[in-house]
Structure 1
Amino acid sequence: MALVYILKTISVLQEIYTYMIIGYILLSWFPNARDSFIGNLLATFTEPYLRIFRRIIPSIGPIDISPVVALIALRFVALGLFAVIEFIFGRFAG
């Protein structure tokens, strides 16, 4: 039963972080929106993660595709974490 709660918590946290990244990306479409309280709050949480991908993936002209890659990587990390936790719990349960 604890396994279900752990996996659900990870899933919810991954979903919240995904929405935070998407919100931060959408703020870039509006002038000075990133300078607002919400913009600064989202930047505090998302910029350290997005900065990793911006160093690796160059922009294509004015288009920055690194957030898309960051979202895909976040999903793969969550799935990998699910697999590891299920393996560990399965190992000790059985």
Structure 2
Amino acid sequence: MTMFAIFWLINTVLDIYIWFLIIHVVLSWLTTFGIINNQQPFVQTVSHFLYAVIEPAARPVRNAIGKFLPSLRGIDLSILALFILVKFIQIFINTTILPIFL
């Protein structure tokens, strides 16, 4: 029972991280297209929080992508790759590791 709780907690944390990734993408689009003003204190606070949460994981992914696809001309695929990686980890835990302990 405790192992199930640990896996549930890990899965929940990964779900929250995925939502942070989605909010980060939507917020960057809204800022880029001028729908929201990045100078507002609330928007700045949310942006800085999301940057602090996402950037430590996105930086190595961005560097790895840059080695394989150097000519993307300003398109950042690190968030998409990070999203796919987190979903892969979730699926791996739920289908491979969790059944071992149940």
TM-score by length of 1: 0.75
User: Are 2:14 and 1:14 equivalent residues in the alignment?
Assistant: yes
> CA RMSD for the aligned pairs?
2.4
Aligned partner of 1:48 in structure 2 is: 56
Residues 61-89 of structure 1: CA distance to partner in whole angstroms, max 9, x if unpaired? Answer: 232222111111111223334433543x3
Q: Secondary structure at the match of 1:33?
A: coil
Gap regions ≥5 residues in structure 1: none
Aligned partner of 2:97 in structure 1 is: 84
Residues 19-45 of structure 1: CA distance to partner in whole angstroms, max 9, x if unpaired? Answer: 101111222221563970000011111
Tell me if the contact between 1:54 and 1:66 (Cα under 8 Å) persists in the aligned partners: yes
Aligned partner of 1:37 in structure 2 is: 45
Tell me if the contact between 2:4 and 2:98 (Cα under 8 Å) persists in the aligned partners: no
Q: CA deviation at 1:18?
A: 0.4
Alpha-carbon distance in structure 2 between the residues aligned to 1:24 and 1:55: 19
Alpha-carbon distance in structure 1 between the residues aligned to 2:87 and 2:38: 27
Gap regions ≥5 residues in structure 2: none
Alpha-carbon distance in structure 2 between the residues aligned to 1:85 and 1:43: 31
Tell me if the contact between 1:27 and 1:33 (Cα under 8 Å) persists in the aligned partners: no
Alpha-carbon distance in structure 1 between the residues aligned to 2:61 and 2:13: 20
How many equivalent residue pairs?
89
Tell me if the contact between 1:57 and 1:66 (Cα under 8 Å) persists in the aligned partners: yes
TM-score by length of 2: 0.70
Q: Secondary structure at the match of 1:60?
A: coil
